[in-house]
């Protein structure tokens, strides 16, 4: 078969497939935009959390005997989050997505530890600014969970669409790729392991 006949054959097959299935291109575009929109909402909530952290850390710093290692952990985790950013077009890269999630999960863990440690400081727990920040942070964490679920639902719909036949043919032809999901962090069902030296604290009192 000559090259020209091959091209004509492929073109005819392409036209036939489009007439048979409607190609599905527009549908894939719509579903991918739905994923991108869901991702934007996830980013908004993560940014909101990042914006709350400096005020939270500054408030806690006022308590001289507060565990400095906890504050350092939170500050360092926030810094790592700032250096690991991905855009909507990077959602097709599982490795970048995994690094982003790992950084965010480390920050979640550090914040969880800070809030647990704060239980040992009655004066801090009574601080109005701290209580307000804690409430905002907890609300943001809940919104993050909600938006991550919406994102996963959108990704599932998109991935299912591009895997079906004959859509998968056109998905590959037009460069549509499977997108990764947010996954639960290993051990996230367990509370942070926080050790206090209560004896020393009692001696101070």
**Residue 170: its pLDDT value, please?**
80
Host domain of residue 170: 27-204
Lowest average pLDDT, out of 29-33, 111-115, 117-121, 201-205, goes to: 201-205
The string of pLDDT tens digits covering residues 57-95 is 998 887 867 788 899 999 999 999 999 988 888 898 999
pLDDT for 184:
72
Read off the pLDDT of each residue in 36-46 and give the average, rounded to a whole number. Answer: 95
Q: Does pLDDT of 21 surpass 60?
A: no
Q: Which of 6-20, 41-55, 170-184 has the lowest mean pLDDT?
A: 6-20
Q: What distance in Å separates the CA atoms of residue 88 and residue 190, rounded to the nearest whole number? A: 32
The answer to whether residue 136 is domain-embedded is yes
Indicate whether 20 belongs to any domain.
no
Instruction: Give the CATH number, domain containing residue 46.
Output: 1.20.1440.20
Band of residue 133 on the pLDDT scale cut at 50, 70, 90:
very high
In a domain, 112, yes or no: yes
In a domain, 71, yes or no: yes
Tell me, yes or no, whether 38 lies in a domain: yes
Q: Is the pLDDT of residue 148 over 70?
A: yes
Q: Is 40 part of any domain?
A: yes
pLDDT of residue 20: 46
Is 128 within a domain? yes
Asked if residue 13 belongs to a domain, the reply is no
What's the total number of domains in the chain? 1
* Band of residue 6 on the pLDDT scale cut at 50, 70, 90: low
Share of the chain above pLDDT 70, in %: 78
């Amino acid at each position: 078969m000559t090259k020209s006949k091959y091209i004509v054959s492929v073109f005819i097959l392409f036209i036939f497939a489009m007439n048979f299935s409607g190609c599905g291109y527009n549908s894939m575009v719509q579903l991918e935009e739905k994923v991108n929109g869901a991702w934007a909402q996830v980013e908004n909530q993560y940014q909101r959390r990042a914006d709350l952290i400096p005020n939270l850390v500054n408030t806690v710093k006022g308590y001289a005997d507060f565990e400095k290692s906890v504050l350092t952990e939170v500050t360092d985790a926030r810094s790592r989050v700032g250096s690991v950013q991905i855009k909507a077009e990077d959602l097709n890269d599982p490795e970048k997505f995994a690094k982003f999630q790992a950084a965010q999960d480390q920050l979640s863990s550090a914040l969880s530890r800070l809030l647990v440690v704060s239980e040992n400081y009655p004066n801090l727990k009574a601080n109005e600014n701290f209580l307000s920040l804690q409430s905002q942070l907890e609300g943001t964490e809940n919104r993050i969970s909600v938006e991550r679920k919406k994102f996963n639902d959108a990704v599932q719909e998109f991935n299912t669409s591009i895997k079906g036949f004959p859509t998968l043919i056109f998905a590959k032809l037009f460069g549509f790729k499977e997108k990764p999901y947010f996954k639960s962090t290993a051990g996230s069902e367990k509370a942070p392991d926080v050790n206090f030296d209560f004896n020393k604290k009692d001696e101070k009192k």
